[in-house]
């Protein structure tokens, strides 16, 4: 599973430009399930199990990662950009980027020696962001890039014993877990979606859920772990090493109470996600048609939405084990 995760993280796929990630996932799941790609680019999957499910269960993980989109080119060849997804400007300055997987660049940053006293105390605003690709003018820049092209912050996958450091752990951890579930034998039939455009408004999963029309859903995610120095206990959200985080509420969903309690009572290592912040594909999934009972299982990731997110292998394994427990319990009707 971790070799798959490595290859997923090292593949670029900003929102709306998930083709390379999608092709890689298809390579891994082909022959283990039935699959198709819908008009938006979601992969819709049916996994045949040993038994027919009492309830139709969908498992979702999103393929896209945060990035930048080129909106204009200046006369002197710099690229004006907008963020795609929630990104802190502080993690972007002077970072190396890759455009369309081919063109190298760097996000412009004013040298500290030239910052005034007041200017140095403030972060630049998003509208001041530019990418330097070394072009001498607009014409040369447009020979290499076009408006609407996507840039990804470079951050190569590496393992430091039990820790993984990489870009795009949100949500390639979820994709890796879901691929593993599909590639192994299943007790019960289930459906799955590898969805697009989560980071820009939970868009792809809306059509995927409508097509599948599940009774219940398990959303696999990466989430913020703020368990670092000087953060108060009640602000840490979740703790690395304590297992997958189970949400009771966020800014887009109040989660199914029965599923939430059953997960915590499973006997598997897991924890409550303590902060009512953010959101994920559950926000769209649970409102589909007449409603879908939903649970979100999130891998704790430090420094999320940056080039250097950090996750623990044991927490990713925990996500897989709890997802399988919930799948079998819901599909069999034992969890009702």
DSSP run (H or E) holding 37: strand 34-37
Cis peptide before 171, with omega less than 30 degrees from 0?
yes
Instruction: Sort strands 190-195 and 57-62 into parallel, antiparallel or unpaired.
Output: parallel
Active-site residues, by number, are 198
For 107, phi then psi, to 5°, come to -75, 125
- DSSP codes joined into one string, 140-209: HHHTT--TT-EEEE----EEETTEEEES-HHHHHHHHHHHHHHHS--SB-EEEEEES--TTTS-HHHHHH
DSSP state of 33: B
To 10 degrees, what angle do helices 313-332 and 169-183 make?
A: 50
CB-based contact 13:64 (threshold 8 Å): yes
**Token pair for residue 317?**
């394994």
Beta strands in 51-118 (DSSP E): 57-62, 67-73, 79-84, 96-99, 103-107
């Amino acid at each position: 599973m971790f070799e798959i995760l490595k290859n997923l993280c090292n593949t670029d796929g900003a929102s709306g430009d998930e083709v390379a990630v999608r092709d890689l996932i298809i390579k891994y799941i082909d022959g283990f399930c039935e699959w198709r790609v819908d008009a938006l680019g979601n992969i819709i999957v049916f996994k045949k199990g040993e038994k027919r499910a009492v309830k139709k269960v969908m498992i979702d993980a999103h393929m896209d990662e945060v990035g930048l989109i080129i909106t204009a080119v200046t006369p002197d060849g710099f690229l004006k950009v907008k963020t795609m997804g929630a990104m802190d400007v502080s993690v972007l300055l002077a970072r190396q980027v890759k455009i369309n997987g081919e063109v190298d660049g760097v996000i412009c940053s004013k040298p500290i020696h030239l910052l005034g006293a007041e200017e140095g105390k403030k972060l630049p605003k998003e509208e001041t962001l530019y990418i330097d690709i070394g072009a001498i003018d607009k014409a040369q820049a447009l020979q290499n890039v076009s408006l609407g092209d996507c840039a990804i912050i470079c951050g190569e996958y590496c393992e430091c014993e039990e820790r993984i450091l990489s870009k795009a752990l949100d949500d390639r951890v979820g994709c890796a877990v879901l691929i593993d579930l599909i590639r192994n034998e299943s007790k019960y039939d289930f459906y799955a979606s590898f969805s697009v455009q989560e980071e820009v408004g939970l868009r792809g999963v809306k059509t995927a859920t409508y097509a599948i029309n599940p009774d219940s859903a398990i959303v696999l995610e990466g989430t913020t772990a703020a368990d670092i120095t000087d953060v108060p206990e009640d602000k840490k959200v979740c703790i690395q090493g304590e297992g997958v985080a189970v949400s009771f509420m966020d800014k887009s969903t109040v989660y199914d109470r029965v599923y939430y309690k059953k997960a915590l009572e499973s006997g598997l290592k897991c924890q409550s996600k303590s902060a009512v912040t953010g959101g994920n594909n559950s926000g769209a999934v649970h409102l589909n048609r007449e409603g879908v009972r939903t649970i979100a299982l999130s891998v704790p990731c430090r420094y999320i939405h940056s080039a250097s997110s950090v996750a623990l292998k044991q927490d990713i394994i925990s996500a897989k084990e709890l997802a399988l427990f919930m799948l079998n319990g819901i599909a069999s009707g034992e969890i009702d």
